[in-house]
Chains A and B, each alone.
Chain A
Amino acid sequence: GAVVSQHPSRVICKSGTSVKIECRSLDFQATTMFWYRQFPKKSLMLMATSNEGSKATYEQGVEKDKFLINHASLTLSTLTVTSAHPEDSSFYICSACPVDRPYGYTFGSGTRLTVV
């Protein structure tokens, strides 16, 4: 079955630094990947849609300059949290659909980001 690998699973960074989260589709190609943020005991909030070879589409209210998304290949999308602050601490999840199965959403295992 389709597998999405997300790394790191946990990261602690100092306030003001940047951290990169990777999302890889291991056995399929994905022209589109999705990035979500999830607060404790809350639902998934879509942050942006990552499109291979083009700019990401951000949801309303999401700061493009803070959450940089790059989708350089059909199997890799990265989310970089720039100048992180404690309020950026959260659980981040990526998702991807195989090109040949547009409704086969597969999720990564998530990244718990803690900014200290």
Chain B
Amino acid sequence: AQTVTQSQPEMSVQEAETVTLSCTYDTSESDYYLFWYKQPPSRQMILVIRQEAYKQQNATENRFSVNFQKAAKSFSLKISDSQLGDAAMYFCAYTRGLKAAGNKLTFGGGTRVLVKP
């Protein structure tokens, strides 16, 4: 079974600084997708970034970027120029790369990000 592990329960960052969240996963599949989701206090799940395993290039979305190390099964998220609005729970998630809408997401335990003004 696939598992996703986030080893940092909580991370604190100064506003405008950079913070990196760790995520490791375990799978025997070669084709899969990885995600980072943000859950603010409203509890609405928001997609931050998505990475296809077959792509070697790391995905970026504005101030958010990932370091995808397929051999190490590592998928870290870097938040640059942190803003107060970045404060939230962040979840790493995995799904198999089968071309079907029925693929379930497996979530990590989450990392709470605190942003200090």
Contacts and interface: CB of A to CB of B under 8 A. Distances in A.
Nearest to B33: A103
A31 B44 contact: no
Interface residues of B, number: 23
Interface stretch (B18-26, B56-64, B69-77, B107-115): B107-115
* Chain A interface, DSSP helix/strand/loop, else mixed: loop
B101 A46 contact: no
Contacts, number: 52
A98 B101 contact: yes
Interface in B66-117: 91, 95, 99-110, 112
Interface residues of A, number: 24
Contact of B43 (A31, A49, A91): A91
Contacts of B33: 103
Interface of B: 33, 35, 42-45, 47, 50, 91, 95, 99-110, 112
Given A103-B50, A103-B95, A109-B44, A31 B102 contact: yes
Given A44-B91, A103-B33, A103-B50, A32 B42 contact: no
Contact of A99 (B47, B101, B103, B106): B101
A67 interface: no
Interface string A32-64: 101000100111101001010000000000000
